[in-house]
Amino acid sequence: MVLKKDTTTPSTMSSPTIISASNEYSPLRALIIGRAAHSLFPSEPPHMIRATMPTLHHPEFRPHHPFPADIVAKADQELDNFARVMTERFGLKVYRPKEVDWAKANEGRGGYTGAMPRDGLMVVGRTVVEACFGWGCRRGEIELAYHDVLEDIMEGAQKAGESVRVCRAPKIVGADTLYDGLLDDDKPEDRKDGAKQNGTFNSQNGNQTTHWAINNTRPAFDCADFMRFGTVLIGQLSHVTNPKGVDYLRAVLPAPYTVELLNTTDDHAMHIDATILPLRHGTLIYCPSRVTEEELRRHEVFGDWDLRPLPWNPEEEEEEEEKDEGPPRYMCSKWLALNAMSVDEKTIVVEERQERFARWLEEEFGMEVVRLPFRHVNSLGGSFHCATVDLVRKEL
Ligand code: ABU
């Protein structure tokens, strides 16, 4: 198939070295890799945990509850190993966040983790955008763990004579209203379908209505609800991303970047990076229980792409990890294999126990698959895509 060239990537860029990324798959040069130390189960209200987290693990989500120490220690070993492979084998520049005691974050309320930077930071062209986190326990995460990385980036850009913009999230002044009308002890009349009170918003997809766990009273979004495809970002509304968050993102992105929303059928939507996985320009894998090919094709950017559903349903499979009693996936769905990270259009990093997925990528798409251990990082909420932020991807 002849594919339209990626004409959407701005051509004004001249080999930048500090910050430059307009897609998820062109050759990676620099990235952030997270850090697991002191990770706590995120403490958010029960309605949010019910909406987003696997039922079996709900009791774990309580204030000041650390993830098991052995899981966190092994997750840090996996992250360190991943960083070493990226540096030594692929020659990439790797930035790491500061170690933070998350129990003391948010004036003692507690934070979550430094292992999932993709949720909080996104590079679009030469702009770094910080998420307006919906989860209160994540507020301050970027400042605490990534301040030094952002300073290094700015310093590096200055030295290299590159113009880089870092767009930090606005501070919330006064009480946060994002859960108003949605908490379990709010009055039921405030939670009616389509209620205008308190800015509650629902999404309609065919016959299905999703009742989101946040309202639309202020901008909220996680960066991991968006992916870059040249000058078009494809994103989704979710339990952590609301319409005002999308408007905010549209407003802070430099021209000519735009945001289009994918209508997913995922009642538990939180982060788009186990729903779609672009392997290279022109080829994308998707989760067929969360999005349809028709919906993807509605977006011009995918018009002539080879769009492939994952041909088996991981929800119906006995998991490798269950067979050998791997660490619990407290926060992730069974589609997590799709949360892989591309080094370039032919090379992708996949969790080493996802052998069926790895072989499919090799045999069906001719990918070179780098298999690395990451199951303890998976326990904390994501895989290689979640645990990274790509800072520089070379122009195609
Ligand atoms: N934080 C990304 C996880 C996505 C998923 O489990 O489906």
Q: What is the CATH number of the domain that holds 100?
A: 3.75.10.10
Tell me whether residue 178 is in a domain.
yes
Annotated active-site residue in 38, 76, 132, 222: 222
> Is the predicted ipTM greater than 0.95, yes or no?
yes
Tell me whether residue 23 is in a domain.
no
Tell me whether residue 147 is in a domain.
yes
In the reported structure, the alpha carbon of residue 248 is separated from the centroid of ligand 1 by a whole-number distance in angstroms of 23
Instruction: Domain count for the chain, please give it.
Output: 1
Nearest residue (by CA) to ligand 1, atom 4, is 274
Task: Check residue 198 and give its pLDDT.
Answer: 61
Task: Check residue 209 and give its pLDDT.
Answer: 83
Q: How far is CA 27 from CA 168, 241, 344, in A?
A: 26, 29, 4
Tell me whether residue 385 is in a domain.
yes
| DSSP of 306-354 | EEEE-SS-GGGSPPHHHHTT----TT--TTGGG--EEEETTEEEEETT-
- Spell out where the chain has E strands: 28-33, 93-95, 121-124, 127-130, 165-167, 200-205, 208-215, 226-229, 232-235, 258-261, 276-280, 283-286, 306-309, 341-344, 347-351, 368-372, 388-393
Rounded to whole angstroms, how far apart are CA atoms 218 and 177? 8
Task: Check residue 205 and give its pLDDT.
Answer: 73
Using alpha carbons, select from 13, 28, 18, 14 the residue that is nearest to residue 155: 18
In the reported structure, the alpha carbon of residue 103 is separated from the centroid of ligand 1 by a whole-number distance in angstroms of 24
Tell me whether residue 249 is in a domain.
yes
- Verify whether residue 64 is a known catalytic residue: no
Whether the CB-CB separation of 344 and 27 falls below 8 Å is answered with: yes
pLDDT in tens, 227-275: 999 999 999 999 999 999 999 999 999 999 999 999 999 999 999 999 9
Tell me whether residue 358 is in a domain.
yes
Which positions of the chain have pLDDT values less than 50?
1-8, 11-13, 194, 321
Task: Check residue 200 and give its pLDDT.
Answer: 74
Task: Check residue 275 and give its pLDDT.
Answer: 98
In the reported structure, the alpha carbon of residue 7 is separated from the centroid of ligand 1 by a whole-number distance in angstroms of 30
Tell me whether residue 154 is in a domain.
yes
Tell me whether residue 292 is in a domain.
yes
Q: Is 332 in the pocket of ligand 1 (CB under 6 A)?
A: yes
Residue ranges making up the domain that contains 79: 28-393
Q: Is the link from the previous residue into 170 a cis peptide, with omega within 30 of 0? A: no
Q: Is 274 in the pocket of ligand 1 (CB under 6 A)?
A: yes
Q: Is 271 in the pocket of ligand 1 (CB under 6 A)?
A: yes
